[in-house]
A and B are shown apart, each in its own frame.
Chain A
């Protein structure tokens, strides 16, 4: 069965600093991978996804992620964090089951941004 590990429960960065959120996955086939962001009390918004092709994926709000098959990782990065980026971030791996696709999520990383 597939799984996702986000080793950092909580990260604090200063506004303007760079950010990297870690994600490791386990999946027996070629994965498709996602990063979502969740503001308090809200649903999840897709930041970016990797399905195939270029291993460096660009997303919304200035985020990018790099797929590294050898490390089973899909880390999320942003060169300069803004205070509005404070939220919870979830990495997910997609798996096919019959005619459906199921996403397995990590436990999330809560990002705090200090001014």
Chain B
């Protein structure tokens, strides 16, 4: 069966420090991968998605970037964190076939201080 791993679970980082969140998927090949951010009291905002290695689409201009160095690995990064980057970050994968559901990781709580 497919599983998705996301780490770390929690992270406290100072303003201006770099960020790297990692997500890996097991049990499937060539998944579509997604990074979402969830702010308190708000829904999920799609940040990036990827349909293949090295292919990244950005949904929202921001201080973050994403990379997909391997088929089942998706990384969210920042060179210098801002206070506004605080939030709950969720990685998800979907099959490429139209109509399939997304499966989510357990999320990373990022607090920028």
Contact = CB atoms under 8 A, between A and B. Distances in A.
Are A and B part of the same complex? yes
Interface residues of B, number: 26
Nearest to B36: A105
A15 B94 CA distance: 34
Contacts of A45: 104
Interface residues of A, number: 28
Contacts of A43: 6, 90, 104-107
Interface in A83-115: 90, 94, 96, 98-108
A105 B43 contact: yes
A88 B27 CA distance: 28
B61 interface: no
A27 interface: no
B43 A100 contact: no
A34 B101 contact: yes
Given A43-B107, A52-B99, A101-B100, 5 more contacts: A41-B107, A42-B107, A43-B6, A46-B102, A102-B34
29 contacts: A4-B43, A9-B41, A32-B98, A34-B101, A41-B107, A41-B109, A42-B106, A43-B6, A43-B90, A43-B107, A44-B90, A45-B104, A46-B102, A46-B103, A51-B99, A90-B43, A99-B32, A99-B96, A100-B32, A100-B51, A101-B94, A101-B98, A101-B99, A101-B100, A102-B34, A102-B46, A102-B49, A104-B46, A105-B43
Interface of B: 6, 32, 34, 41-44, 46, 49, 51, 57, 90, 92, 94, 96, 98-107, 109
